[in-house]
Structure 1
Amino acid sequence: MFHALACGAVVFPGLFFTFRKVLPSIFKHWTEADVVLVSERLVSTIHALMATTVGVIVVSSCRENVITDRHWLATHFVIWYGSPYMSYDIYAMYLSHYYRFRVKGHEDYKGHSLRTVTSFVRREFLLVMHHIALLTILLPITLFFRQDQGDYFIGCLFLTELSTPFVSLGKILIQLGLQDCLLHKVNGGLVLLSFFLCRILLFPYMYWVYGSHYSIPLYRVPFHLTLSANLGILCILAPQVYWFVLLCRKGYRLYKRQRGVKVQDSPLPSPSEAPVADGDKDD
């Protein structure tokens, strides 16, 4: 068990360290903040692809009886790679935050300190709490309190990572200065679609599957589950809805900005038809 846990604890920091060493030799004009951001996103993409693959395997193997069917990956992936990744990612997000503000010239970011850590937690509070909740709530439930049931639903939760590669690709394209290319626009649509399907619609789908198993209508499923189960699902779902709203707002701002550029570049534009483009905000 310890060796398996150590495997994940080495893989993700090792990949992060490797990318931080390799990327500056390829993109010589990048700052340390650029390198850390892209390194973090590349590692996130690798983990997301692993989790999505495991999710597909578990879900497809546990369809006959969604309550009692078992697959060893449902538990072991959480131990081997899920928990080590969440722990590593908090640190990687902090480094990305630190170097981003250091490059901007903030006085407090000349070295690591309690102030920089506090600033990171304050700015990324919801995301940090999301990671901590997965470590302190989902992990114990997966390992100890499920009574060897519900591997199908654990597999479904792995599928929430399907949107992560698209989110990461969007940030990497921006880093490469390709935010106006067709790929970035198509990827933006895939971000919204995959996020909605896999991080929001997935939860009512799991309720529906549970209700179908016990032959009860969807609206009665919450009353059939324990209060702790409903609260746990709500705690996972609520941040996803919030982030989805932010993604929609950002997509709308980009759409307005691009429309504004098109109107300005067109011959003899009509002032009444030209929309005002939003300024870029640091999300």
Structure 2
Amino acid sequence: MLALLAAGSVFFPGLFLVSKRTLKLLMGWSEADAVVLSTRLVSSLQAVLASAAGCIIVSSCRDVMEDRHWLTEAYILFATPYFLYDIYAMFLCYRHKLLVKGHEEAGLVAVVSGYLRREVLMVLHHVFMVTFCFPASLLWRRGRGDYFQGVLFLAELSTPSVSLGKVLIQKQNSLLHRLNGGVVLVSFCCCRVLLFPYLYYAYSRYASIPVLAVPLVAPWQCNLGAVLLWPLQLYWFCLICRGALRQFRRHPNAPPDRTHH
């Protein structure tokens, strides 16, 4: 257990540092650009690893409640430190964006305060993943429901396209950006928005009960996690839809929208 936690604690920050240094030394990128892209690369790699683990687990569990796979708990332990690392990585991105915009005079307290105000939902999401989802997935479920845990890993399938969209923000009128925007819409809807209703539907089939009866028999941890996480996914999906609609309405020769930098 400790070995996997330690491995994740070294792997994700280490990959970030190696990526940033490589971009600066070999590609000649600025510190700010290297930090932002390295953060996106690490996020995308974590998403690929989580999705791969999810595919393996889901395809291996025929009984959605009783079948087990060693990769379930192993990846939970390995990936948990990522969420703490990512809070700091996002802070670095925010700080460097301020420097690029000429706000060098801002003190650390002001920068941290501004970061927490801007990214409060994402920070709370990450803290919730560590403080609640980690013990719920590793301890409270008592070794049952590996299939459902694998499905939850598949939520990360949408992350690479979201990260790519943030990298391509400077080229909003390009075909690649528009195509990736479509991928973001579809993948986020399927992997984030529809995921929670599917979990309840899958259990209703397993237990041969109506879907609406599942919350009455599901563990309170599952219901609490869904109640807190699903509205957040719906909110982010609404923002994605609003951005896509704005992009669709924009004239092809219009300058890119820089309001979300």
Query: Equivalent residue of 1:105, what SS?
Result: coil
- Asked whether the equivalents of residues 172 and 256 of structure 2 are also in contact (C-alpha less than 8 Å), the reply is no
Q: TM-score, normalised by structure 2?
A: 0.94
The correspondence of residues 48-127 of structure 1 with structure 2, limited to 5 A, is: 48-62=47-61, 64-80=62-78, 82-109=79-106, 113-127=108-122
Partner of 1:238: 231
Query: Equivalent residue of 1:261, what SS?
Result: coil
Partner of 1:12: 12
Matched, 1:191 2:184: yes
Higher relative contact order (CA 8 A, sep 6+): 2
Q: TM-score, normalised by structure 1?
A: 0.87
Matched, 1:282 2:260: yes
Q: Tell me: CA distance 1:68–1:191, structure 2 relative to 1, closer, same or farther (3 Å).
A: same
Unaligned runs of 5+ in 2: none
Question: Take 2:166 and 2:25, find their aligned partners in 1: how far apart are those partners?
Answer: 20
Question: Take 1:77 and 1:226, find their aligned partners in 2: how far apart are those partners?
Answer: 22
- Asked whether the equivalents of residues 166 and 187 of structure 1 are also in contact (C-alpha less than 8 Å), the reply is yes
The correspondence of residues 136-151 of structure 1 with structure 2, limited to 5 A, is: 136-151=131-146
**Could you say which structure has the larger radius of gyration?**
1
Question: Take 2:58 and 2:231, find their aligned partners in 1: how far apart are those partners?
Answer: 24
Matched, 1:219 2:216: no
1:101 partner letter: L
Partner of 2:150: 155
Q: Which structure 1 residue ranges, 4+ long, deviate > 3 Å from structure 2?
A: 25-28, 277-280
- Could you report, residue by residue, the CA deviation over 1:227-276 in whole angstroms, capped at 9, with x for unpaired residues? 4421221111111111111111111111111xx236x8xxxxxxxxxxxx
Q: Tell me: CA distance 1:227–1:143, structure 2 relative to 1, closer, same or farther (3 Å).
A: closer
Query: Equivalent residue of 2:252, what SS?
Result: helix
Segment drifting more, 43-52 vs 4-13 = 4-13
Question: Take 2:180 and 2:227, find their aligned partners in 1: how far apart are those partners?
Answer: 28
- Asked whether the equivalents of residues 108 and 116 of structure 1 are also in contact (C-alpha less than 8 Å), the reply is no
1:281 partner letter: T
Matched, 1:38 2:31: no
Matched, 1:169 2:168: no
Question: Take 1:90 and 1:119, find their aligned partners in 2: how far apart are those partners?
Answer: 14
Deviation at 1:165, TM superposition (A): 0.4
- Asked whether the equivalents of residues 59 and 152 of structure 1 are also in contact (C-alpha less than 8 Å), the reply is yes
The number of residues matched between the two structures is 261
Matched, 1:205 2:198: yes
- Asked whether the equivalents of residues 98 and 104 of structure 2 are also in contact (C-alpha less than 8 Å), the reply is no
Query: Equivalent residue of 1:188, what SS?
Result: helix
Residue identity (%): 46
Deviation at 1:103, TM superposition (A): 1.2
CA RMSD of aligned residues (A): 1.9
Matched, 1:247 2:231: no
Question: Take 1:150 and 1:232, find their aligned partners in 2: how far apart are those partners?
Answer: 15
- Asked whether the equivalents of residues 108 and 115 of structure 1 are also in contact (C-alpha less than 8 Å), the reply is no
Deviation at 1:107, TM superposition (A): 4.6
- Asked whether the equivalents of residues 41 and 168 of structure 1 are also in contact (C-alpha less than 8 Å), the reply is yes
Pick from 101, 125, 130: which aligns with 2:125? 130
Q: Tell me: CA distance 1:158–1:94, structure 2 relative to 1, closer, same or farther (3 Å).
A: same
